Amino acid sequence: MQYVEVLPQEKLPHAVLICDFVHFHHYNLDKNNELTEFPLEELAGHAELFADIAGYENVTYRKEDSVNVAAAEQMAKLHDALKAAGYTGHPLEVLLVRLVFCMFADDSGIWNQDQFINLIKNRTNEDGSDLGMWLPRLFQVLNTSAEKRASTLDKELASILFSH
């Protein structure tokens, strides 16, 4: 362990294994030197400790935020409704990715807060009947740099700029 303590941060291993060919002492450096001890005959039962040697990575799963679960359920319903209406395949998948991006941009500061949702609320019919016309226009604007956008563009579309 003294050898490990003097290594530069970028050279630190994930674990240290000490073995006398009968007993194993495995120190997980990623988990505050968590010690697992076992005899040779139990080696197979501790194979997961050596997963990183084989190129595997341990992933810790945590319960999803209920907001994320609800959003995923809403996106699944949207997917199914669009598919039932005949909008399928790659174009459907691209549309959903673009919509998720727009919602993420609204919340994360990629552009001004709620620009996407405000565009939808302010420029589309309440029943959504013209939403299919507005989304391609939005995506076209997003694919055009600000200096190349038409000067006659709708003010809300023209205002969508990336903040970075």
- Would you write out the chain's pLDDT as a tens digit for each of its 164 residues? 788 888 888 888 888 999 998 999 999 988 888 999 999 999 989 888 888 777 776 666 666 677 678 888 999 999 999 999 999 999 999 999 999 999 988 888 888 888 999 999 999 999 989 998 999 999 999 998 888 888 898 888 888 876 54
Q: What is the pTM of this model?
A: 0.57
Domain membership flag for residue 63: no
Coil, helix or strand for 128? Answer: coil
Angle at the Cα of 51 (from 45 to 34), degrees rounded to 5? Answer: 75
Quick one: 31 and 96 in the same domain?
Answer: no
Q: What secondary structure does DSSP assign to 24-83, as a single string?
A: EEEEEGGGTTEEEEEEGGGGGGGGGGGGGGGT-------PPPHHHHHHHHHHHHHHHHHH
Domain total in the chain: 2
Quick one: 81 and 145 in the same domain?
Answer: yes
Size of the chain, expressed as the number of residues it contains: 164
Range of the domain at 32: 2-54
Bridge partners (DSSP) listed for residue 36:
26
Average pLDDT, the chain: 87
Domain membership flag for residue 110: yes
Count other Cβ atoms within 10 Å, centred on residue 7. 10
Domain membership flag for residue 65: no
Q: Would you state the pLDDT for residue 164?
A: 43
Q: Would you state the pLDDT for residue 160?
A: 83
Q: Would you state the pLDDT for residue 63?
A: 66
Quick one: 78 and 153 in the same domain?
Answer: yes
Domain membership flag for residue 60: no
